[in-house]
Amino acid sequence: MYTRNPELLADKVLEKMRAHPGQTTDPLKLAKVFKVTREHIIGAVGLLRCWGYTIRADRHGHYAFVSAPDNFLSTEISYRLNTRLIGKKIYAYQTVQSTNAIASQLASAGVPEGTLVIAEHQTRGRGRLGREWYSPNKVGLYCSIILYPKIHPTQAPGISLLTAAALADTIASYDDIDVKIKWPNDILISGLKVAGILTELSAEIDRVEYVVVGVGVNVNQKRADFPDHLKDTATSIRIGAKENILRVEFLQKFLRNFEKEYAAFKKSGLQETRKKILKYSYLQDKEIKLKIGRKVISGIVIDIDRTGQLVIDTRDGIMAFNAGEVSTH
Ligand code: BTN
């Protein structure tokens, strides 16, 4: 079984060595366990090193696990993830055009709910309103989660909001970070954008077929890494936390938070999440302009209601909106 599947053998060898960190293992013993030859084990260790794992060999040729790379390998993401649904199945890539595009195809093909699509780099990362999401190699987080919620299409914006709450909680777990949710899809640190959410769905008039939640996070960019057009508006968690962030650990925390928020949403809509959204809300009590197509509405934000709509006190009275682009000046 393992001789035909070197990746699977490498995963299993890693699992065995990781169970006893620092302790050496004789490759012959591993060969017996997996019913392969010693050469297969040496090959598996070579593959693991290729993936970025540090595995030490002593003078007898016995191996010990030393450390794992901070790369989005499915083995690393799954390791002690402990979720029930989200990220149980993972498609991890080096470079793709857009994880949302791949996720939509996988969702149409019926992969399990909670499937995660992730890449180290995107060449055509999609942002909202036809914009591009800047996705440089190995410094950010670019992923999409596939869901099949039994909801009416009008409830879909709630999924963006629960994602925002999960992201805000994850970012807030790093010291000294002033994280805010800018309704409906942006996450800010000190007023600058650190993450964005692009929720795409396939639906009939009264039924959602699938939802793809795309999440882009600037994780380890330094100020100088941002291109000129983003320098004044973007930031990263690393800049906010003043330290390098372990991206796999960040992703795992986010997936666990997302799972909790999604479970609560399925049970009782945004009831629970709304409290968090209000706690993190960047727009509360601010004077804003909301652009919906060609229409612009001005007023003061007074609430985000139970259905996730932005409630604005306008010149024409109090109104609630479920979409649009907000500016604060
Ligand atoms: C925004 O405009 O703020 C939303 C950005 C969403 C970007 C993410 S990166 C992973 C996923 N794949 C995409 O092509 N876009 C989303």
Distance (angstroms) between ligand 1 centre and the Cα of 47 equals: 31
Q: What is the CATH number of the domain that holds 42?
A: 1.10.10.10
Tell whether ligand 1 has an atom less than 6 A from the beta carbon of residue 100: yes
Residues 160 and 63 in one domain: no
> Which atom of ligand 1 is found nearest the CA of 126?
14
- Looking at 19-139, list the stretches that DSSP marks H as alpha helix, in order from N- to C-terminal side: 27-34, 38-50, 74-78, 99-108
At 171, phi and psi to the nearest 5? -65, -40
Distance in angstroms (rounded) separating the CA atoms of residues 288 and 161: 19
326 sits in the region (left: phi over 0; alpha: psi -120 to 50; else beta) called beta
Give the range of the structural domain holding residue 250, as residue numbers without chain letter. Answer: 74-280
Distance CA 131, CA 109 (A): 27
Out of 91, 142, 183, 212, give the residue to mutate to test ligand 1, the one with the largest number of ligand atoms within 8 Å of its CB.
142
Which of ligand 1's atoms lies nearest the C-alpha of 135? 9
Same domain? For 22 and 46 the reply is: yes
- How much is the pLDDT for 176? 79
Domain-terminating residue out of 67, 90, 107:
67
Does residue 56 share a domain with residue 163?
no
| SS3 label, residue 274 | helix
What CATH number does residue 179 fall under? 3.30.930.10
Pair (210, 118) in one structural domain: yes
Choice from 105, 117, 126 to test ligand 1 binding pocket (greatest atom count within 8 A of CB): 126
Residues 184 and 101 in one domain: yes
Looking at the fold, whether 56 and 179 belong to one and the same domain comes out as no
Q: Are 13 and 29 members of one domain?
A: yes
Q: Would the CB of 185 count as within 6 Å of ligand 1?
A: yes
Model pLDDT, residue 284: 96
User: Could you report the per-residue pLDDT of 248-295, keeping only the tens digit for each?
Assistant: 999 999 999 999 999 999 999 999 999 999 999 999 999 999 999 999
Query: Candidates 100, 186, 230: which one to mutate for ligand 1, based on the most atoms within 8 Å of Cβ?
Result: 100
Residue 302 belongs to a domain with what CATH number?
2.30.30.100
Instruction: Check whether residue 165 and residue 198 sit in a common domain.
Output: yes
CA-CA distance, 286 to 301, in Å (whole number)? 6
- What pLDDT score does 22 carry? 80
Same domain, 172 and 302: no
Does any ligand 1 atom lie closer than 6 A to the CB of residue 140? no
Do 260 and 216 reside in the same domain of the chain?
Answer: yes
Please tell me whether residues 63 and 183 are part of one structural domain: no
Neighbours of 81 (CB within 10 A): 18
Residue whose entry in the numeric block shows the structure tokens 């065995």: 16
Please identify, by atom number, the ligand 1 atom nearest to the C-alpha of residue 100. Answer: 12
Atom number of ligand 1 nearest to Cα 185: 3
CA angle, corner 202, sides to 194 and 105, nearest 5?
Answer: 80
Q: How far apart are CA 209 and CA 130, in angstroms?
A: 23
Number of domains comprising the chain: 3
On whether both 96 and 231 belong to a single domain, the answer is yes
Helix intervals (H) in the chain: 6-18, 27-34, 38-50, 74-78, 99-108, 157-172, 237-241, 247-268, 271-280
Q: Which of 263, 280, 297 is the last residue of a domain?
A: 280
Does residue 29 lie within any of the structural domains?
Answer: yes
Tell which of 243, 260, 280 closes a domain. 280
Q: What is the DSSP letter of 130?
A: G
Ligand 1 test: best mutation among 193, 198, 212, 251, most atoms within 8 Å of CB? 198
Residue 1, domain member (yes or no)? no
> Which segments in the chain show pLDDT lower than 50?
none
How many Å separate Cα 191 from the centre of its chain? 21
